[in-house]
Each structure stands twice: as structure tokens, then as C-alpha cells.
Amino acid sequence: MSGLEPLIPISLFFSIAAVFILRGPFGKALADRLGGRSSAAEDDTRTRLLEEQLEEVQYRLHDVEERLDFAERVVTHGRSAPQIEGEG
């Protein structure tokens, strides 16, 4: 015996594991990618959705910046304006 006998069950184990892994969702995705069937339409839809979300976040950030500027003006104007004493 040449000492290669332990490799037989090891290779059998890895072969069976590979079959189970490649028959699952990972194998399907790999086959789609290798076959050129990756859905470009899904990628375009996802890109368009992310762009729309980015535009919304930019709009909201601009709105928050305007509110912050207004609040800063109110606070600084309130400190520099003379205080009016109340009647009474």
C-alpha cells in the first residue's frame, strides 16, 4: 500500500459536500453568473431605486440645512437684539 488510502475517503467527502453546495442557491447563482444569465434588469432596477433614494436623502438633507440656518439666525439675532421690557 502506498499511503494514499486516506485520500480516498477525504476526496469522497469533499465530492459529496461539493454536490450539496452546488445544488443549492449558491450553485444556482454561480451557474447563472457563469452562463451570462445574471439579470441586468434586476441590476438596473436596483441602481434606479438606489438613485431615487439618494435623491430623496439629498433633498431632506438640504431641508435640514435650511432649518439649521434659520435656527442659527434666530438664535444669533435674539442675542444681539435689545430686550424690550414688558409693561406693568
Orientation of helix 7-22 relative to helix 25-34, angle to 10°: 80
Rounded mean pLDDT of 7-32?
A: 86
Do 16 and 22 contact (CB within 8 A), yes or no?
A: no
Q: How many residues does the chain have?
A: 88
30-50 pLDDT, tens digit per residue, is 887 787 765 667 778 888 999
Rounded mean pLDDT of 66-73? 93
**Residue 87, pLDDT above cutoff 60:** no
pLDDT at 80 (0 to 100)? 62
pLDDT, position 29: 82
Residue 25 has pLDDT above 90, yes or no: no
